[in-house]
Amino acid sequence: MAEAVVSSVVTRIGDLLVQEGKFLSGVSNQVELLKTELNLMQGLLKDADARQDESETVRRWVAEIRDLAYDADDIIATYALTVGSRKGGGVQKVLKRCSCIFDEGITVHQVGSKIEDIMTKISSLKTSFRDYGIRESMIKGGGSSSFNERKREERQTFPHLDHDVVGFDDDLNKLVEFLLKEGEGNRVASICGMGGLGKTTLAKMVYNHKKIKQHFVRRTWSYISQQCQRRRVWEEILIKVQSPTKEERDEIQKLTDAEIIEKLREVQLQKKCLVIIDDIWDIETWNSLRAAFPLKNTSSKILLTSRNKEVSLQVDAEGFLYELQCLNKERSWELLQKIAIFRRKDCVTNANKHNIEKLGKEMIEYCGGLPLAITVLGGFLVAKQTPNEWEDVLKHIKSYIFKEDDLRVNKVLSLSYNDLPCHLKPCFLYLGHFPEDFEIPTEELIQMWMGEGFIPQILHEEDSEDTMEYEGEQYLRELIQRCMVQVGEISKLGRIKTCRIHDLMRDFCISKAQQENFLQITKKNIHSMEGSQWHIDKIRRLAITLESNDNYLKGIKFSEYPYLRSLLYFVRPKEFYFKKSKLLRVLNMKNYNGKNLPKDIGRFIHLRFLSLENSNINKVPSSLGNLRCLQTLDLRLKACRCRVPNILKKMEQLRHLYLPFIYWVSEKLELGNLYYLQTLLNVRPKTIKMPTSFRFNYLRILSIKDQNAHKFTGEAPHVIQILSSCPHIYKLVIYVQDLKKLPETRQFLLNLAELKLKYTGLEEDPMPTLEKLPNLKILHLLQNSFEGKDMDCSEGGFPLLQYLFLDHLYSLEEWRVEKGAMPNLCQLKINYCNSLKTIPDGLRFVTTLRELEITNMRESFKDMLDEGGLDFDKVKHVPSLVFQNCDW
């Protein structure tokens, strides 16, 4: 891990010498020498990192060099940024109030003295390493084989991300058979077993089973975890079984506990529902939830997973208990083959089949039949090309994995972690910030990795995918491929929207992060940290978890946390306590409950990532303009209406800007300096100002949107103007009233893959324009986006369209689709199109259509499409035909 820290610091110092060199005058020679010293140290750290378990002395030396690298980074960056801001003018008065890590301001002499001191200590540590016998190795960017370089070339053909499964066929059939049974005494099924056996995997297989989908009208899934909040669980399940509108969701949140229980019971009594509750830890948790789930006089079913067999027995004595067992040797070998051998494209394993099989079967002995351990070991072995490398793995297993059952998995996980390329180690450890069973938003995760400097800056071309964000996606995919991270939700465009980390993997991650002094996590109070020993004066990253609150945080000496780089809140604090942590790079304050940010927020000049999403602040402070290193700024506030000052022009490094849903300005926001902007959400074109010739050449995602769009008019000309300045957008959302007419096809965005229109009031059929977009894959025509009566899709139109959603198009009567139109359409959803007479005849020729969902339409419309209906021939080839609320 120290190797990764030093490597990233060397890269950042190099970037600073290039970008801020004019502000390092006077110390630039010393900075160059320091960079050289750290670079040489990297060669020793590869061996030293691997040998930390040999000696407490080596472990202490590695920790020292890690802290020295951090200190060097902090000193040089603070000096360059502060001097740069002073010389830049306009913020001198603010910077005079800026305290930094030095007691009496920053001077060339002080910086030079601190750098000299660091270099002396590094030199001494190098001598100690060599005297101990730490060998110098060549610095490589990847792991121990050339596989990593080859994988970079093959990423476009990355294998399917679902984990391989073996040995569950009988288990699955038994559970499905039970859940399909009618009658009393067949209400609750439970899957129990130790962590890592595959309880959640099996439950997901049940949830997605074809017969289960056909039998149950509603299916819902809820993760529980050890910090169960029953109200959240009830709301989550009710929302999933009712599929409410946004207004109905808001009403659900206002219900009392008794009312929400009654509604949940009612829907389970009236409809066949399958409720899956994953990972219940104790019977007390179930007792707190049980009132909402009737056990008699219902056709609905419950499927529970738990590590505790007693929970399963006490929930329903007449229910079905399924105990998962460890895999036998044959099944274990089958799973290892699927992951480590059958994925391989090379012929090495075929040529050495007998030897590979012998080595593999020896290794799985140490996994104890635990699918998680075998999966992780397989993800590790898939990176090994030769039998010699497999033999090396076996040697390590024999050295590190003991016979005690409670140590086997941890040692396998440790082996996998140690083999990660150095650039992936901090990315993996960063996942320890997140609570158990947390669905981690991948876009946000990658932005925080960037803020920490884990992803190097990339000089890229305007139309190239070679960006820091793209590189971050590859980092994540490699962690997934190595089975250290699980895929959560996937977007319709095939991008990973969320990811998760298995409970056992999270435990290991936190343990390793504590050992490396990488991360600390609060429990019930700031002095109760998850994991092992910690040193308050060197805490670099802190997660404040769900169990912490303001009562515990008050009175803590937060001035003792000057070294924090990342601070993530998973609570709703009313005050920001870490005002002395001026080295913060990442500050994630989602759900911040205070009304105002501290006035001195502008003193956090190192910030790269700042999220205030869903917070209660009602005013954006002007001092934010001092944060010129920001790459991500999320202002999607909870406040009904918020003023945004004209400060964005100073943030020239900004890449992702999320404006408030509803905001106002006293002067237009100048965006002409935001050359690298890639994401711009919730913008009102009338509130921004750009030079006429300015182009957002890197912008990929644009949302022109306002929750109160009906209150704002006259936006149409400005919408056309901003679209013309964004040539490379692939996702576009326009929620603007009375656009009336789309731009001409030649003016439109030819790279566009996803388009959502709402309130636009188009008077002309949009299809002749939109069907010519060559890359469009997803199209949402939402409430009042089109006010005409007729819509036509011509032959050859929409060549790549896969998903089409027509929603609240009240005036639409006739929709015609010619043969040869939409040749790749997979999903079609029609909702509240009350005047639509019937489905287009041309849909019979769309043989790729896999799912047709009709919701909130007239019963006569549904009857025509049902088997035996007048229009059934048009849709009989569609495998999944779903009707909901079509009874009026």
Dump pLDDT digits (tens) for 323-369.
888 888 888 888 888 888 776 655 455 667 788 888 888 888 877 78
Please report, as a single letter, which amino acid is at residue 455. I
Q: Using the predicted structure, report yes or no on whether residue 815 has a pLDDT greater than 90.
A: yes
Contacts of 578 (CB under 8 A, 6+ apart): 558, 561, 564, 567, 584
Task: Quote the percentage of the chain above a pLDDT of 90.
Answer: 26
Q: Using the predicted structure, report yes or no on whether residue 856 has a pLDDT greater than 90.
A: yes
Report the pLDDT value the prediction gives residue 147, as an integer from 0 to 100.
31
Q: Using the predicted structure, report yes or no on whether residue 143 has a pLDDT greater than 60.
A: no
pLDDT tier at 153 (50, 70, 90 boundaries)? Answer: very low
Q: Is 770 helix (H, G, I), strand (E, B) or coil?
A: helix
Element (H, E) at 124: helix 108-132
Q: Using the predicted structure, report yes or no on whether residue 206 has a pLDDT greater than 80.
A: yes
Report the pLDDT value the prediction gives residue 588, as an integer from 0 to 100.
94
Contacts of 421 (CB under 8 A, 6+ apart): 141, 142, 143, 148
Cβ atoms of residues 195 and 211 within 8 Å: no
CB atoms within 10 A of CB 89: 7
Q: Is 103 helix (H, G, I), strand (E, B) or coil?
A: strand
pLDDT tier at 404 (50, 70, 90 boundaries)? Answer: very low
Task: Quote the percentage of the chain above a pLDDT of 70.
Answer: 81
380-384, 412-416, 424-428, 814-818: which has the minimum mean pLDDT?
A: 412-416
pLDDT digits (tens, 9 = 90+) for 307-322: 777 777 788 777 888 8
pLDDT tier at 154 (50, 70, 90 boundaries)? Answer: very low
Report the pLDDT value the prediction gives residue 70, as an integer from 0 to 100.
83
Cβ atoms of residues 875 and 865 within 8 Å: yes
pLDDT digits (tens, 9 = 90+) for 611-625: 999 888 888 889 999
Most confident of the ranges 121-125, 289-293, 520-524, 873-877: 873-877
DSSP letter assigned to residue 309: H
Element (H, E) at 360: helix 353-364
CB atoms within 10 A of CB 616: 16
pTM of this structure: 0.77
Report the pLDDT value the prediction gives residue 282, as an integer from 0 to 100.
74
Report the pLDDT value the prediction gives residue 769, as an integer from 0 to 100.
92
Q: Which residues of 362-387 are buried (b: 16+ CB within 10 A; e: fewer)?
A: ebbebbbbbbbbbbbbbbbbbbbbeb
pLDDT tier at 753 (50, 70, 90 boundaries)? Answer: very high
Most confident of the ranges 248-257, 285-294, 570-579, 835-844: 835-844
Q: Mean per-residue pLDDT for 81-90?
A: 55
pLDDT digits (tens, 9 = 90+) for 255-290: 888 888 888 888 888 888 888 888 887 787 888 888
Name the residue with higher pLDDT: 47 or 799.
799
Report the pLDDT value the prediction gives residue 31, as an integer from 0 to 100.
75
386-395, 424-433, 462-471, 477-486: which has the minimum mean pLDDT?
A: 462-471
259-268, 292-301, 524-533: which has the minimum mean pLDDT?
A: 524-533
Most confident of the ranges 395-399, 654-658, 880-884: 654-658
Report the pLDDT value the prediction gives residue 231, as an integer from 0 to 100.
76
Name the residue with higher pLDDT: 457 or 675.
675
Give dist(CA 43, CA 48) in Å, integer: 9
DSSP sequence for 189-231: EEEE--TTSSHHHHHHHHHT-HHHHHH-SEEEEEE--SS--HH
Residue ranges of E strands in 671-807:
679-681, 688-689, 701-705, 731-735, 754-758, 778-781, 790-793, 803-807
Determine the number of helices (DSSP H) and then strands (DSSP E) in the chain: 29, 30
Report the pLDDT value the prediction gives residue 152, as an integer from 0 to 100.
31
pLDDT digits (tens, 9 = 90+) for 629-673: 999 999 998 867 788 999 999 899 999 999 998 888 989 999 988
Q: Mean per-residue pLDDT for 705-714?
A: 55
Q: Using the predicted structure, report yes or no on whether residue 232 has a pLDDT greater than 70.
A: yes
Give dist(CA 242, CA 230) in Å, integer: 18
**What value does the mean pLDDT of the chain take?**
79
Element (H, E) at 855: strand 851-855
